[in-house]
Structure 1
């Protein structure tokens, strides 16, 4: 073992002892060139900090984290696959963490993962970042991209980049289309119990469309559940058993829409003649269901590609301006919607 100490490393690197300490403890506020130089000196001299037996590779700052809100989410899975392919071409290691905690804020989980995994950058899929997240996000000083998440307008966005869609406008277009087809009794199925961020925004879009078309909001038509096929089935069952006049359903996800459609067909009702239905996300489940289910398709590949590009832009230059991108969705009409006379 080399007898070199932290002061020697600082002298060789031409920096202060505090800078070396920050690199050893993997603090993010060190320029990439300086960090690489110090790590190179540490490795060449076989320096082990605090006389511990930790592997020196733990000091590497080439770890990129992907944090996914929730556990079962085919939409995020598609994005993760795309991100993994993009990052595999770079000299970075990728760590994946699914956050299904209901006890901690998403910002708290983010900080825990940065410290635990010694991350050099993070892409956070989903989550809810509101005003109280400000104090956490300001302290990070690490390349961060939040994708497909709810970020309230009063959050200071200077410490991260983001990419997503306009959930309110996208939901509005879907429900407005149902209204234009003559539907007035339109049910709402959402994953509010497990995905409150998108639930709220897409619900606002649903309500906005009803009001624009002169239709009163009826809270008896609202059902909250989970992001599962089973939940969609049960919500549709409860909704239609208590509100037989409903002629259309807007679901905040394709997963729920497929479950709902399964229930509708099990009761000898026809889709779309008895009940029309439209989902959200653009997953292939709805396309290959029979009848095929209309949807609001999110640009999955564009979300993934923009997230990676924004992240590496920050990694290469932390002084660069953060960007916040809103991508367009596509309303896809299939066999699940009929007009009402």
Structure 2
């Protein structure tokens, strides 16, 4: 005796925001339905006791969008995703994305030849509506970089709070002339870390001009070092640097030493992420520690909940950060 049907075709169509005709095409293995949507509906049909016209392979593949492969931060996050994926018997595929786009067809094209059951994105999205449309088709979790929305799932940290605390630490240690070295603002984390920096300066009556924030489009050590080396030559009153990544902070350290600054006596430097580099360079970096592995691990666990329908409420999970104080401050 077959499994008793526990849902109607109409209710399954409603769950996937499609017509009953689309569900019927999947049930009868006919017609043109995108592979990702077909996989999702097939899983629901089988879970509810329906027999597909011909055997359809259920995927166990999740895809991870990454903005680049060079950022050491991403390596630890991916390790966390991979660990959780193995425990859930999921296969993980990593796909690099280009600069944020408002075209959902671009994201769908990245997975058109892959039978995917879920997406984790470390890459920034430019619009919450894009994520919502993608999530309607394939369960999606934003990881680390995110756009906040109550109807979208994410795992990250409170970037604004972490940046505020790091900046205030510099100010409370007596620093008066601070600069912020960060990524361009197409990265949502950069927007929030800049907000935390500016809020801390304002609350402590520290003046900040446009020239005190240096933007870089890529996390490139040599480029940041070159520009900061020149900046410190023509701005000799800087006594603190808050950088939105440890790579930026390491480049700032080299530039400061090259300009005969004593660290931390003349200038204090704080980075962000606590990658291995921060404890290797000399002087070692004070930095904001992100639980990178846990961010990745929890992202996959949250995605698994969404895939298994064990949680129909979108979740926003924020993990704690800590300021690791070392020699640079």
Cross-structure match for 2:95: 97
Q: Distance in 2 between matches of 1:146 and 1:106?
A: 17
- With over 3 angstroms needed to count, the CA separation of the structure-2 counterparts of 1:150 and 1:89, relative to structure 1, is closer
What SS does structure 1 have at the residue aligned with 2:206?
A: coil
Q: Post-superposition shift, 1:107? A: 5.0
| Equivalent residue in structure 2 for 1:163, among 133, 155, 159 | 155
**How is 1:1-341 mapped onto 2 (pairs within 5 angstroms)?**
16-19=24-27, 20-21=29-30, 25-26=34-35, 27=37, 28-30=39-41, 32=43, 34-35=45-46, 42-43=54-55, 59-99=57-97, 101-102=98-99, 104-105=101-102, 107-133=104-130, 136-137=133-134, 140-152=136-148, 155=149, 157-158=150-151, 160-192=152-184, 196-225=187-216, 226-317=218-309, 320-337=312-329
Relative contact order (alpha carbons < 8 A, sep ≥ 6): 1 or 2 greater?
A: 2
Counterpart contact for 2:232–2:259, Cα < 8 Å: no
Contact preservation (8 Å) 2:246, 2:273: yes
State the shift of 1:93 in Å. 2.1
Q: CA deviation at 1:264?
A: 1.5
Secondary structure (helix, strand or coil) at the match of 2:242 reads: strand
1:193-245 CA deviation, whole Å, 9 max, x = no partner?
7x632221111111001001011222221111121211321232132122110
Instruction: Tell me the CA shift for residue 31 of structure 1.
Output: 5.4
For the structure 1 residues 297 and 135, does the alpha-carbon distance in structure 2 shift closer, same or farther, using more than 3 Å as the test?
Answer: closer
Aligned equivalents of 2:51 and 2:213: distance in 1? 56
Q: CA deviation at 1:167?
A: 0.9
Contact 2:101/2:126 (8 A) holds in 1: no
* Alpha carbons 2:65, 2:120 under 8 Å: kept: yes
Report the RMSD for the aligned CA atoms in angstroms: 2.6
Q: How far off its partner does 1:334 sit?
A: 0.6
How many aligned positions are there?
302
1:190 is displaced (CA, Å) by 0.9
Q: Secondary structure at the residue paired with 1:150?
A: coil
Shift of 1:275: 1.3
In the TM superposition, residue 85 of structure 1 has moved relative to its aligned partner by 2.2
Work out the CA distance in 1 between the residues paired with 2:299 and 2:30: 31
Scaled by the length of structure 1, the TM-score of the pair is 0.80
State the TM-score, normalizing by the size of structure 2: 0.83
Q: Specify the SS of the correspondent of 2:312.
A: coil
* Alpha carbons 1:235, 1:260 under 8 Å: kept: no
**Structure 2 alignment gaps of length 5 or more:** 1-22
5+ residue gaps, structure 1, are: 1-14, 44-55
1:111-156 deviation digits (Å, cap 9, x = unpaired):
3234332211111113134345366336x3322111111304xx4x
Residue in 1 that maps onto 2:10 = none
For 2:229, what is the secondary structure of its paired residue?
helix
Cα deviation, residue 286, structure 1: 0.8
